[in-house]
Amino acid sequence: MGLAILIFGLMVFLGSHLFITRHEARDAAIARLGLAGYRALFAIAASAGLAMIVWGFSEYRADGLIQIWSPPAFMRHVTIDLMLIAVILFVAAFVPSHIQAKTKYTVLAGIKTWAFAHLLSNGDLGGTLLFGSFLGWGVYARIADKRRGNPGVATAPADWSNDFIVLALGIVIYIALGYAFHPILIGVPVFGR
């Protein structure tokens, strides 16, 4: 049951995000609903999809994992290292910096890094569906942005102070995620055993 909820949640969440790339359909929806109505409908769909993903994945894990392959033990360390990069990229998406300017599509870079990192250390069906879907969507969204001529963030601030803020805040959030969020809410310890 949990796997079905997870799959449906992925379809709703990622489907609503894929709809954004269909500009003619999106523009028609905005014309029909108004910008506020479109944003409200998008927020409801995305939130419902995310809630189903979390609920479905939780139920799936509680029912027992369906193992597809067994990742080597060292992949756990690779995942932990890549997650530091992913968190820094997420933070950089909200703070103008050289990191943001260099990656251009910072949120997508963070999502792809997060998903790839977790694919390396999760060999079960639910994890593969969850992280593989997000990685596939991230790649597609990046290509779609590039094709429509969206240059992303192109300019960096004059000084490097925001980059230090991004790095410091990214490290603090990374530690909080590793020591509090992941072991308590996900049930999987990140640091130590």
Same domain, 23 and 80: no
Please give the residue range of the domain that contains residue 16. Answer: 1-64
Is 76 in the same domain as 37? no
Q: Is the pLDDT of residue 125 over 90?
A: yes
Domain boundary among 16, 49, 64: 64
pLDDT given at position 187: 80
59 φ/ψ angles, rounded to the nearest 5 degrees: -65, -45
- Where does a domain end: 14, 40, 64? 64
Tell me what percent of the chain is helix, strand and coil, each rounded to the nearest 5.
75, 0, 20
Tell me: the pLDDT tens digits for 28-49? Answer: 999 999 999 999 999 999 999 9
Q: Do 169 and 92 fall into the same domain?
A: yes
Q: Looking at the structure, tell me whether residues 48 and 17 fall in a common domain.
A: yes
Examine the pLDDT at 127 and tell me if it is beyond 70. yes
Assess whether 115 and 152 both reside in one domain: yes
Q: Rounded mean pLDDT of the chain?
A: 92
Q: Where are the beta strands (DSSP E) in 53-115?
A: none
- Are 123 and 157 part of one and the same domain? yes
